[in-house]
Structure 1
Amino acid sequence: MSNPFLIGENMTGGYGRGADILHDCTISVAKGEIAVIVGPNGAGKSTAMKAVFGMLNLHKGSVRLDGEDITKLAPQARVAKGMGFVPQTQNIFTSMTVEENLEMGAFIRTDDFSNTLSQVYDLFPILKEKRYQAAGELSGGQRQQVAVGRALMTKPKLLMLDEPTAGVSPIVMDELFDRIIEVARSGISILMVEQNARQALEIADKGYVLVQGRNRFTDSGKALLADPEVRKSFLGG
């Protein structure tokens, strides 16, 4: 892909002064595309996403968003450029209501965000129903909807999700994936780290299999699902 919307290219680095976790890792996403990062535990999947978001030190490589080099920008500056990031844990304010959580997502907005709030409620109807309830009282799947909805309130061009289906039931996972597909169809690029590799690759335009912080396989989601070596080593046969 000659002009991806996002590309983290030849990323090498780690946390603080520790050893490098990523080694010449490259991740790219086109406009409106769903890209999924999968691999065994400790492969550097979440680290690769955090590198794209500016949360660790890159000793080598670069990150470009819509053609602009953002390698030196802090995470909050990347949000202003159009990145939305949903961490795996501690991703909502439990004592605040659902609606207050969503409003917090609009903290960088200076315009009227009521239309975006309506769009989030259209995407996740249960959140509208529970908008005055404390977010900490919700189920795990509903909390994830709040976290994704809050990220969408920034009107991101790229939405990054770290293990969005962790700890939820298969039914809730399918529902979350359906909503993620809807978001991508609206033109927002999706970069997602997932342990549920088979299900994630089924909805992915592109998949990355990382092993020990390096690219092992890169192809379309369908091609990776059909690859005998990928199936045997990473998808349970």
Structure 2
Amino acid sequence: MTENATMPAATPSAPAPFLIGEAMTGGYGRGADILQGCTIAVERGEIAVIVGPNGAGKSTAMKALFGMLTLRTGRVVLDGEDITTLSPQARVAKGMGFVPQTRNIFPSMTVEENLEMGAFLRRDDLRATMEQIYGLFPILRDKRRQAAGELSGGQRQQVAVGRALMTKPSVLMLDEPTAGVSPIVMDELFDRIIEVSRTGIPILMVEQNARQALEIADKGYVLVQGGNAFTGTGQDLLADPQVRRSFLGG
């Protein structure tokens, strides 16, 4: 380089995602790897959706992010902190809220008791958060004294999401929140998810109803055989001919 040559201007680096599972590889026990180097991230104020065929590793990726699966390679970073080795309980304490697809409520407990169980790590006054959840899901206020196991599928999902929100999470993860509910209830749940996102909580979800999920997504990930097949905005993926043909029914 000559004396008069000028150094190129430094390009400012993009801000790191709020939550990222980077180059994740792993499986269950000593079994084969289900995740094949996939990367999943969600930014602040964003809804990110993971879709793909059955057996693609979607729920496994969520479990890896939440610490329910030991990664063989890769890492998980939350708000700039490497949490790869932390237990699920420690991740909850760090601000992660996770709603699994099944067994996500206590059926013999009342709705209100379920919500209170979500706040087991808190030592402050729960009433303001409880009111926020009843404002988000008005039917839960009406049924707060009823056993959660007696509710409809959609109402039980509302209890499960509400219980996760009682932790005052900094990120909310939902594994197939609309599984087994009617199209009308699915639309209502998606509306509530959008409302939660508008409060500033980043949301990452796995969803079987790919087209509807991508319609509300800021970012979408299509997984195939445990790896990233397509990544883009929800609208970009909906418009991609190959994604439409292979995963959205044309």
TM-score range, shorter chain: over 0.9
TM-score, structure 1 normalization: 0.99
Could you say which residue in structure 1 is the equivalent of 2:68?
A: 55
Matched, 1:150 2:168: no
Structure 1 segments, 4+ long, off by >3 Å, are: none
The C-alpha deviation readout for 1:134-156, integer Å capped at 9, x for no partner, is 00100000000000000000000
Q: Which amino acid aligns with 2:125?
A: D
Could you say which residue in structure 2 is the equivalent of 1:6?
A: 19
Where 1:79 maps in the other structure, the secondary structure is helix
RMSD, matched Cα: 0.6
Matched, 1:102 2:115: yes
2:204 paired residue among 184, 191, 196: 191
What is the count of residue pairs matched by the alignment? 237
Q: Which amino acid aligns with 1:59?
A: R
Matched, 1:221 2:249: no
Matched, 1:45 2:58: yes
Could you say which residue in structure 2 is the equivalent of 1:120?
A: 133
Separation in structure 2 between the aligned mates of residue 78 and residue 162 of structure 1, nearest angstrom = 17
Where 1:133 maps in the other structure, the secondary structure is coil
Separation in structure 1 between the aligned mates of residue 96 and residue 29 of structure 2, nearest angstrom = 23
Q: Which amino acid aligns with 1:174?
A: D
Identity over the aligned pairs, expressed in percent? 81
How much has 1:32 moved relative to structure 2? Answer: 1.4
Separation in structure 1 between the aligned mates of residue 234 and residue 27 of structure 2, nearest angstrom = 27
**Contiguous gaps of at least 5 residues in structure 2:** 1-13
Larger radius of gyration: 2
Could you say which residue in structure 1 is the equivalent of 2:78?
A: 65
How much has 1:2 moved relative to structure 2? Answer: 3.7
Separation in structure 1 between the aligned mates of residue 70 and residue 93 of structure 2, nearest angstrom = 20
2:99 paired residue among 71, 86, 105: 86
